[in-house]
DNA sequence: GATTATTTGTTCGTATGTATT
DNA sequence: CAATACATACGAACAAATAAT
């Protein structure tokens, strides 16, 4: 089992992005201040302007920088601590949610994805999958916060043996046990009404409104590694997000 | 190149992105299938490869495409306008959503927030507010994607005169007209069932499940500047978020 | 299994446009 | 009007991943 916690950048713009991120976090460039121009960065790191722009694009996408023609590129926020629009903090929330709840496995089975399921989980039809049907509970509650189906590929099926014991998200179990790295998570939220059978296991009334939250986890090869489809009754769960923005208009000098 | 929508792109890659989006939505390229190679697109539209890649990058960012070296570029999802409107997980998406829909104002009134509303909107009870009840439509659709109540403080009430004309988010109208700066957005999603009256204006069936999405916009003084409470029927709207995970270098402050 | 062709990914160079000072 | 700085767009070349021979 090989854990590739590969932090060393593989491309030049990734390296540059990392370097700049560090300089922002370390306070060399402060929030509200301008960073050097593209031309200056180009000289300083001896790369082409295109490479500089790719790196800057990365930081912009992550909400750390904003650029305006004629002005320059301004630090919008400094990394890790705050939450940004890109969902960086949302993943942390996801992990926190998992760690704050306990899980009870009700059913297990092995199945082959038909057209419909394959479509919903972003796998090819015919893919063999292991499925677990679980309930999630808050610490002292008797009624579950959510019911959910969890799917992993057949070759990773054994992780489902541990999911109710390890107090960590299923996706990190797969990462640790099988050396894959999750790189992207896609989440879809739709509204639903509880069917009688669903209401029963959730100890809720039939046709209570609920959030249907599906998540799919992808590795570096864009392969679906894990998926979950959950029902969260509206009286027990709400989905909250907070975006911090800083629209840049002007700034006082230091 | 024929552009159907009333939003005219300002740059070539934006035009190309729009064109490709349309071809995916119209079913010319289906989910799971490959689109033409970059070289072919370059020829077909007579632009440089750089321009093609910028357009493809846009679609990838919006989750419609995924590309892999050696394989090609594959349609991952067929975007918005057919059935689902993509939801808002980032500020960029919020602005895109607003620009892609048109707004119809049904009612206006002035009111004073009682305990309950004040609580829900994060203002003090007694605050005077201007309210607009609006519908949001996708281009060419007759049934609205959403109904929503929009609230602004009394001193900014006049912006509600422009919200159906300016093709921009209400919060940026407030920013421009009154010189405030929105710094934080809080969003809450809960599941709901449509009441008969709500179903009527939305042209939907009663007790259709729907997402109830509330957003509150705060300025630098942490003052609620604007708020909205919307109902999004589940057959017309889903809330999609994508987060990319990068190496968690996990160094803690002492 | 090795080689080759195909396709996206990265990197360089250059020029022009647009917004701001 | 001129200088500055980012935005867009053209061109070219090689690398890396994959599929086909």
Residues 130-169 of B with CB under 8 A from A: none
pTM, two decimal places: 0.69
Secondary-structure breakdown of chain A: helix, strand, coil percentages, each rounded to the nearest 5 = 30, 30, 40
Question: Phi and psi at residue B171, in whole multiples of 5°?
Answer: -65, -30
pLDDT, residue B113, reads 92
Counting residues of chain A whose pLDDT is more than 70, the rounded percentage is 80
Q: Distance (Å) from the C-alpha of residue B6 to the closest C-alpha of chain A?
A: 27
- Chain B residues with beta carbon closer than 8 angstroms to that of A5: 247
Q: Is A118 on the interface with B (CB under 8 A)?
A: no
Please check whether residue B25 is in contact with residue B86, taking contact to mean a CB–CB distance below 8 angstroms.
no
Chain A contact set for B187 (CB, 8 A): 240-243
Token duo for residue A91: 């993943």
**With contacts defined as CB-CB under 8 Å, which chain B residues touch A242?**
184-187
Q: With an 8 Å Cβ cutoff, are A245 and B211 in contact?
A: no
A234, B190: Cβ pair inside 8 Å? yes
The average pLDDT across B170-198 equals 82
Tally the C-alpha atoms within 13 A of residue B93's C-alpha that lie toward its C-beta.
Answer: 20
Calculate Rg over the CA atoms of chain A. 22
Q: Given this model, what pLDDT does residue A250 score?
A: 26
Tens-place pLDDT, residues A149-165: 999 999 899 899 988 87
Q: In this predicted structure, what is the pLDDT of residue B89?
A: 55
At residue B71, does pLDDT exceed 60?
yes
**Within 7 A of a protein CB, which nucleotides of strand C?**
5-14, 17-21
Average pLDDT rounded to a whole number, residues B87-93: 55
Three-state secondary structure string covering B72-107: EEEECCCCCCCCCEECCCCHHHHHHHHHCCEEEEEE
Q: Sorting pLDDT into bands at 50, 70 and 90, what band is B133?
A: very high
On the question of pLDDT at B214 being above 80, the answer is: yes
Helix (H, G, I), strand (E, B) or coil at A69: coil
User: What pLDDT is recorded for position B112?
Assistant: 95
Which pLDDT score is estimated for A165?
Answer: 74
Is A5 in contact with B87 (Cβ distance < 8 A)? no
CA distance B145 to B231: 9
Distance separating alpha carbons of residues B54 and B71, to the nearest angstrom: 19
pLDDT at residue B91, as a whole number: 57
Are B239 and A87 in contact (CB < 8 Å)? no
Phi-psi region of A22 (alpha: psi -120 to 50; beta: other; left: phi over 0): alpha
Q: Dump pLDDT digits (tens) for A2-24.
A: 333 344 568 899 899 989 988 99
Task: Look at A220 and B19; give whichever has higher pLDDT.
Answer: B19
**Per the CB < 8 Å rule, is B193 touching A184?**
no
Which residues in chain B are contacts of A241 at CB distance < 8 A?
Answer: 89, 186-189
CB contacts under 8 A, B 179-208 vs A, are 181-193, 207
Q: Which of A91-95, A189-193, A228-232, B237-241 is predicted with the least confidence, judged by mean pLDDT?
A: A91-95
Range from A9-23, B89-103, B230-244 carrying the lowest mean pLDDT: B89-103
HSE of A171, CA atoms in CB hemisphere, 13 A = 21
Helix axes B12-25, B49-61, angle to 10 degrees: 50
* Contact present, B218 and B239 (Cβ < 8 Å): no
């Amino acid at each position: 089992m090989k854990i590739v916690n590969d932090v060393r950048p593989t491309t030049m713009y990734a390296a540059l992005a990392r370097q700049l991120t560090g300089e922002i976090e370390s306070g060399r460039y402060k929030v509200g201040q301008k960073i050097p121009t593209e031309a200056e960065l180009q000289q300083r790191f001896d790369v082409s302007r295109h490479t500089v722009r790719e790196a800057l694009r990365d930081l912009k996408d992550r909400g750390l920088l904003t650029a305006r023609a004629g002005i320059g590129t301004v630090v919008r926020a400094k990394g890790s601590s705050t939450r940004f629009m890109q969902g960086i903090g949302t993943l942390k929330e996801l992990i926190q949610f998992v760690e704050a709840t306990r899980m009870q496995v009700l059913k297990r089975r092995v199945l082959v994805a038909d057209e419909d399921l394959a479509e919903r989980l972003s796998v090819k039809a015919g893919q063999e999958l292991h499925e677990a049907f679980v309930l999630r509970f808050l610490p002292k509650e008797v009624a579950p916060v959510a019911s959910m189906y969890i799917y992993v590929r057949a070759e990773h099926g054994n992780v489902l043996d541990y999911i109710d014991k390890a107090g960590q998200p299923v996706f990190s179990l797969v990462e640790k046990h099988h050396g894959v790295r999750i790189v992207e998570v896609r989440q879809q939220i739709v509204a639903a009404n509880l069917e009688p059978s669903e209401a029963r296991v959730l100890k809720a009334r039939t046709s209570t409104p609920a959030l249907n939250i599906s998540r799919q986890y992808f590795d570096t090869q864009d392969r679906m590694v894990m998926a979950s489809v959950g029902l969260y009754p509206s009286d027990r769960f709400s989905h909250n997000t907070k975006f911090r923005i800083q629209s840049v208009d002007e700034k006082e000098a230091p």
